[in-house]
Amino acid sequence: MPADPPWFLSAWAGVLDRPQLVDEALDREDEYAGVALLALVLGHPDPAVAPPRIRRALAARNPQTRANALQSLGHQARLHGVVDAASILALRRALRDDTVVGRGPYRIRGYADTAADDIGSFARRRELPRWFRRRFPGPVLQIERRAGGPGPDGGGDASGQQPG
């Protein structure tokens, strides 16, 4: 049975036991290093393993690797609720990066915007910089709670029913 093609996440299952495989792929500028990083972020249970590798991939020369690093950053926030300050700074630069990814119309800034939306929705808001919180407000439920709307902090229950 042939091995999975390198663009399949399953081809990089070994990164879960050996995260240094991502480092090696980044070192040799493997065109599928970003896929290896995604496999690591999506499958490794330790939230501290991926961030240094995400930061490295965000600085890669290959735009596809940078795009996959931005996807990984969003997944890191979604799965673990945390994103480090250095990655947020790299994300801020990526939000202005007009580099085209592959042959398509997609650009780094589009991937960055999607990652920022994920971070705004899933990361701990109080740990994000003010500029970020203003530009990416996060889920509507949080805004309603601050305004005294439905939810445990706003006087009602999760269904929006007010007491009494």
Print the SS3 string covering 74-137: HHHHHHHCCCCHHHHHHHHHHCCCCCECCCCCCEHHHHHHHHHHHHHHHCCHHHCCHHHHHHCC
4: in domain: no
Per-residue confidence (pLDDT) for residue 5, from 0 to 100: 77
Per-residue confidence (pLDDT) for residue 148, from 0 to 100: 61
What pTM does this model have? Answer: 0.81
> For residue 29, what are the contacts with CB-CB under 8 A and spacing of at least 6?
60, 61, 62, 65
Averages of pLDDT over each 10 residues, the chain, 164 residues: 70 91 97 96 96 98 98 97 96 98 93 97 93 86 55 44 48
Per-residue confidence (pLDDT) for residue 1, from 0 to 100: 40
88: in domain: yes
158: in domain: no
Per-residue confidence (pLDDT) for residue 155, from 0 to 100: 44
Q: Contact, 33 vs 65, CB < 8 A?
A: yes
Domain range holding 17? 9-128
59: in domain: yes
Per-residue confidence (pLDDT) for residue 104, from 0 to 100: 80
Q: For 107, phi and psi rounded to 5 degrees?
A: -130, 155
1: in domain: no
| Lookup: tokens for 95 | 């939000």
18: in domain: yes
Domain total of the chain:
1
157: in domain: no
161: in domain: no
**Measured between alpha carbons, how far is 51 from 40 in angstroms, rounded to an integer?**
10
Per-residue confidence (pLDDT) for residue 145, from 0 to 100: 54
